[in-house]
Structure 1
Amino acid sequence: MLILLIILSLIYAFLNGYRDSSSILAGVIASRAMNPRLALYLGAAADLIAPFFFGSAVAQSITTDLIKTSAVTLDTIVIAMVAALVWTFFSWWQGIPSSSTHALVGGLLGATLITSGSQAILTGGLALVILPLIIAPIIGFLIGYLFNALLIYFLRNAHPKVNISLRRYQIITMLLLAMSNSANDAQKSMGMITIGLVLAGKLSSFDIPFWVVGLCALSLALGASRGDWRQIRNLGGKIYKIRPVNALSSQLASSGIILLASVFGMPVSTPHVISTALLGAGASERVNKVRWQIASQMAITWLVTIPAAMAVAALLFLLLNAVQGLWGNLHVLALR
């Protein structure tokens, strides 16, 4: 069961990298600051490096600070991870801009509630996890709006050639954004593997082994190097026509928020923060510049994902119990 959890967690990291690359690269590609393929590989390299430098605060928040390890089993964690992957695959297949972080939190809550009851959920840790997921995208919108408005004000008399400089700065902010994304997202897989090692008796305390960091960083970077081009096109063109100033201000805003969240152990949905910062940047120029229908679709999935993943986890548990019961009955009949 532990080997299965490790494999599932690495698949989750790969999918995180694959899907989040669209949010990270949309601005820099849409504003033509970089060659798309070069941007993809540079972003993946940044994803590979960052997890080694930002500790394990997020990993603890989403596991040992959220649920009582003494009240859950390895099966619970596996069900949670399967639920997160099922919802992530489903939303990707349907083209829904869902959050794998929301899916993981929902999977953990659903699996823990149905296997161990509400007493296994730590309310203080739950608040630390849920509040950042709700508040961070709102802050992303506001800071993206503010940064874009300030940049436009200070550059109001600048020559059009200033866009050349803005595009160069975007390369730096894109790398910073990729690193901040990886710093937060890789820790989620790291946390799931480590809590599995603790429950399996392989570790005596929640100390993330170096090999776990390396495998999760590599999986996330490999996913990022593939690039979800469908979502890159969606974010890069469907919300509004992104200019260099929009991309730069949104990247600055979102990378700052995600880095701070990582340092303070707050898991955030990086695609949602990046997307709302981009929306804020566009809205600061002209409210009707943004295609709000696309934004409303994002908001709906933002609200739906956690309860949906909880439901998937509950269904998986019931299905597993039914299969085990049927197998047990067949075994008894075979012995007669």
Structure 2
Amino acid sequence: MQSLFALTLIIVLLAFAFDFLNGFHDTANTIATSVSTRALRPLAAIILAGTMNFLGAITFTGVAQTISKGVIDPFTIHDETRGMIIVMAALITAIIWNLVTWLFGIPSSSSHAIIGSLAGAGISAFGFHALNLSGFIEIFEALIFSPIVAITVGFIIMSLFNFFFHNFPLKKTNQRFRTFQIFTAALQAFAHGTNDAQKTMGIITMALVASKYLSVVEIPMWVRVTSGIAMAMGTTFGGWRIIKTIGTKIMKIEPINGAAADLSSAAIIFSFTALHFPVSTTHVITSSILGVGAADRVRGVNWGMAINIVITWIITLPTTAACAVVVFKVLAWLL
């Protein structure tokens, strides 16, 4: 029992480390457009994003419940120690992936990383039948479908902005949208917290159920608050390498573009959160920018950079799944 408690404690600490890195890694996604258009100074943007991330994190729990049982149902795991090693292997793999992609300034998906890692570790432990196939397919569909919706919505909103504001004085329009971006940046950061922080909550809850510390899938308040704090702390430290990629290398972002992209991505993230589906905020925000850019000027989008980002998206899930298989084997041998 003591060893099980120790494993649970290690998992909780690893989950907070993942949550911190998620905030650190994904801060750029929520504030890159507002910083690149100078709507917000970097320090103000980080404080705003950290605060709104925390508020969003403690407001909803639906996504956390999906994560806690959607990939692997913890109630089907009868070997508590093996179940804990699955979660530990998934977290270690996802943390390593986040660190590697941050080092190279690649806006990869923490969501893909943790879900791929969880699936790979579960398969390594019990075979393919360990997967909650229907839940896993639904999560996978949400991850794939959400960027397509984001591109479409970004294109539509930017087209509407162009239609209604094309006769307005450019300088005054930019000034007004720069002010409006403070609101859209806050909205997007809040949306980010409602979805991304819940993945950590779900992982911790899964571990608590697998170790029999919880008998039902309910997210304890202490898990909600501490996960929100961990993400807010990560957000506070920021990820400036990725801000440069999101905010400058995809397209030249003006205040009207940034506002359109923020509104588009926040709307998509809120919609999927309401449906209890996890999405990649990285995917959604980047796709929104691509949709906005295409509506504004197709040739103004750096499609080469966009392709590199898409390739990273595609390889994340299978790569992390394969790595988690190895990490699980090593941990099972050590423990």
The TM-score, its normalising length taken from structure 1, stands at 0.93
Aligned-partner residue type, residue 47 of structure 1: N
Q: Please, which of 130, 134, 140 is the counterpart of residue 150 of structure 2? A: 140
**Partner in structure 2 of residue 236 of structure 1:** 247
Residues in 1 aligned to 2:306 and 2:112: alpha-carbon distance in whole angstroms: 17
The residue number in structure 1 matching 2:136 is: 126
Q: Of the candidates 59, 69, 77, which is equivalent to residue 64 of structure 1?
A: 69
Which residue of structure 1 lines up, in the alignment, with residue 47 of structure 2? Answer: 41
Q: Which stretch shifts more, 174-183 or 43-52? A: 43-52
Aligned length: 323
Deviations 1:104-138 (A, max 9, x none): 00011001111011212112101211001111111
- Return the alpha-carbon distance in structure 2 between the equivalents of residues 88 and 77 of structure 1: 17
1:321 deviation in Å? Answer: 4.3
Q: Does 1:189 align with 2:200?
A: yes
* Aligned equivalents of 2:39, 2:230: Cα separation in 1: 27
Give the CA deviation at 1:323.
4.5
Task: Write out per-residue CA displacement over residues 181-237 of structure 1, whole angstroms, 9 at most, x where no aligned residue.
Answer: 010011100011111111222111111111110100000000111111111122111
Match of residue 311, structure 1, among 314, 318, 322: 322
Task: Kindly indicate whether the alpha-carbon contact (under 8 Å) linking 1:61 and 1:128 is maintained by their aligned counterparts in 2.
Answer: no
Q: Residue 213 in 1 paired to residue 224 in 2?
A: yes
Unaligned stretches of 5+ residues in structure 2:
1-6, 78-82
1:299 paired to 2:302: no
Give the Cα separation in 2 of the matches to 1:317 and 1:21: 29
Question: 1:285-306 CA distances to partner (integer Å, 9 max, x unpaired)?
Answer: 1111001111001110111000
Q: How do 1:125-274 and structure 2 match up within 5 A?
A: 125-160=135-170, 161-274=172-285
Q: How does 1:108-123 map to 2 (within 5 A)?
A: 108-123=118-133
CA RMSD, Structure 1 to Structure 2 (Å): 1.2
In 2, distance between residues paired with 1:70 and 1:211? 22
Structure 1: stretches of 5+ with no match in the other structure: 325-336
Structure 2 vs 1, CA of residues 323 and 43 (structure 1 numbering), >3 Å: closer, same or farther? Answer: closer
Deviation at 1:39, TM superposition (A): 1.1
- Which residue pairs with 1:86 in the alignment? 96
Return the offset for 1:95.
Answer: 2.6
Normalising to structure 2: TM-score of the pair? Answer: 0.94
Does the CA-based 8 Å contact 1:71-1:116 persist in structure 2? no
The one-letter amino acid of 1:141's match is: I
- Per the alignment, residue 53 of structure 1 pairs with 59
